[in-house]
Every structure is written in structure tokens, then in C-alpha cells.
Amino acid sequence: MALVKVTSETQLKGIISKGVSVIDFWAEWCGPCRVTNPLIEELSKEFGDKVTFAKVNIDENPALAEKNSIMAVPTFLFYKEGKLSDSLVGAAAKSQFKEKISELMEK
């Protein structure tokens, strides 16, 4: 599944409401975001339809960032069936993402 670009709260709620989802809050000017972008793209291909990956540009959607208490980018929020299960702030290794996602899929 391709990465989903989130542009509204309604769209975000629809994405997180079912299954496992990873929401990437990012900005174009953010160096660590540029490092993690390829990882998120790879993971979205690896997990396919099992996990939804979505991106929220905080500069284009400041209200979504504020509503989700985003204080730094990149911030990744991990949801299962609409419930926030975990978060990760800053650049991280692909293995960390896989571990968090796998844990959610097992629950």
C-alpha cells in the first residue's frame, strides 16, 4: 500500500480507526525527517495491506499537529483499532519500527 497523505482530521480518524496504522508527523525542512522518509516508504511496501502508513506535513496541517500534541518532528504515532498504542520521536532504525509494528500486530 502506498503512503497516505493526510490532510484533515476526518481522514486521520478514518485511517486510525481500523487495524494497525503508523502516522508520521514530519516537515520538509526537517533533516531527521528526510532520513526516515525512505524507511517509512520501505516499511509501507513490506507490510503491504497489513499496516496503514500515513504522513502529516505539520506545516500544511498545523491544527492536526497541535491536536495530536506534536512537539518535535519527526514524531510517529502507532495506533491499533483507533487507540494510540505507542509513539516514537526522532529518527530511528528500521528495526525499531518493525519491532513496534510487530508487537501491535500480535496484540
Note if 56 is an active site residue: no
Q: Are 56 and 24 in contact (CB under 8 A)?
A: yes
- The DSSP string of 3-56 is PEEP-SHHHHHHHHTSSEEEEEEE-TT-HHHHHHHHHHHHHHHHHGGGEEEEEE
Active-site hit among 15, 22, 33, 101:
33
The x, y and z cell numbers of residue 94, run together, are: 528500521
Active-site hit among 22, 30, 58, 73:
30
Note if 21 is an active site residue: no
Which residues are designated catalytic? 30, 33
